[in-house]
Amino acid sequence: MQPAATSSHDSTQLVHIGRQPIYDWGGHVVGYELLFRGASEDLEATRRSSYATSQVIVNAFTEFGLEQLVGGRKCFINLTREFLVGDLPLPFDPDHAILEILETVEIDGAVLSGTARLVEQGYEIALDDFVFGLGHERLLGLAAYVKLDLLIREPDELAAVVEQCRRYPGVKLVAERLESEEHIMLAKRFGFDLLQGYAVGRPQVLSAVALSPSRLRRLELLGAVTAEDADLTKVASIVQSDPALSYRVLRATNSAASGLPRRVASVRDAVVLLGSAKIRQWAALMLVSDVAESASEEQLSSTMARARLCQTVAERLGLSGEAAFTVGLLAGVAELIAEPIAEIANRLPLTVEIVEALVDGHGRLGQVLATVRAYELADEQALAASPVSSSELAKAYLAAVGWSMKTIEGALGTGPA
* Residue 342: CB atoms within 10 Å: 13
Closest by CA position to 359, among listed 348, 372, 343: 343
CB contact at 8 A, 46 and 89: no
What pLDDT does residue 49 have? 57
Which residues in 222-254 are b (16+ Cβ under 10 Å) and which e?
bebbeeeebebebbbbbbbbbbbbbbbbbbbbb
Predicted local confidence at residue 35, as pLDDT: 87
If asked whether residues 27 and 42 sit together in one domain, one would say: yes
CB 307 within 8 A of CB 399: no
Question: What per-residue string of b and e applies to 24-51 under the rule 16 or more CB within 10 Å gives b?
Answer: eeeeeebbbbbbbbeeeeeeebeebbbb
- Write the burial class of residue 380 (CB in 10 Å: 0-12 exposed, 13-18 middle, 19+ buried): exposed
Give the residue from 158, 187, 207 where a domain finishes.
207
Q: Per-residue pLDDT tens for 285-311?
A: 665 444 334 345 577 678 778 888 999
> pLDDT tens digits, residue range 126-181?
999 888 778 899 999 999 999 999 887 788 888 889 999 999 988 999 999 999 99
pLDDT digits (tens, 9 = 90+) for 338-383: 778 888 777 666 788 988 999 999 999 999 999 999 888 887 777 7
Looking at the structure, tell me whether residues 161 and 20 fall in a common domain: yes
CATH of the domain at 235: 1.10.3210.10
Q: Are residues 417 and 270 in the same domain?
A: yes
* Same domain membership, residue 118 and residue 94: yes
**What does the CA dihedral 28, 32, 33, 38 come to, rounded to 10 degrees?**
130
Whether 64 and 202 map to the same domain: the answer is yes
pLDDT digits (tens, 9 = 90+) for 311-346: 999 999 999 887 888 888 888 878 876 778 888 777
Task: Quote the number of domains for the chain.
Answer: 2
Residue numbers of the domain that contains 189: 12-207
**Burial of 116 (C-beta count, 10 Å sphere; 0-12/13-18/19+):** middle
- On whether the CB atoms of residues 177 and 150 are closer than 8 A, the answer is yes
pTM above the 0.85 mark? no
How far is it, in rounded angstroms, from Cα 77 to Cα 171? Answer: 18
Q: Are residues 102 and 166 in the same domain?
A: yes
- Reported as type and span, the H/E element at residue 56 is helix 50-58
